[in-house]
Amino acid sequence: MSSQPSALASTTDFAAHVAAELTEAVRGIDPAQAEAFVEALDSAANVFATGAGRSGLMGKALAMRLMHGGSAAHVVGETTTPGIGPGDLLVIGSGSGETRTLVPMAEKARELGADVAVVTLKPDSTLAKLATLVVQLPGASKSRENDDYATIQPMGSLFEQTLLLFFDASVLRLMQRRGLDGNKMYGKHANLE
């Protein structure tokens, strides 16, 4: 664990330090796990994204970009979200891998024949054990129990930021696989603004 360094005297100093933490964190992502995640996104008939709190917001960001890329992507709990089934993928972001509201979702998705991808700090967690695919992100847990990853950020901020970067990088890789660019994706951008 790390406390706020006294040398940081401005908002931009803190931003630079956070960026350095993120750079270090993404270097620790296993490339094989990352590629397996993109393959799962690419082959899924429907992708359902979920998470609790800020991790859930990162899941919404993933679903939006997947939709822009031509995937049938949904956010769990929205009124327009269809049912899940075989050939579908449930993506769960959970630092602890123990979020009580997410465990029944993973169990139900598996029961209905869907695959479950869990992106977490804890590859031995309950959610990871229910998953068909696990991506371990480096970082510090909210409680900082049994952590040896240093961050100046509060609670799960480093995990949530790394989760967003991982999801965005996965979309970039998916775009590459599908021969998409930003101009093609912009055609699916919201236009009732």
Residue 112, SS3 per DSSP? coil
Task: Choose, from 21, 24, 160, 193, the residue flagged as catalytic.
Answer: 160
132 Cα distance to chain centroid: 15
Alpha-carbon span 162 to 166, nearest angstrom: 6
Q: Structure tokens of 121?
A: 């700090």
Any idea what the Cα angle at residue 173 is, between residues 22 and 62, rounded to 5°?
Answer: 65
Alpha-carbon span 101 to 89, nearest angstrom: 18
**DSSP secondary structure letter of residue 79:** T
78 catalytically annotated: no
The residues annotated with a catalytic role in the active site are: 160
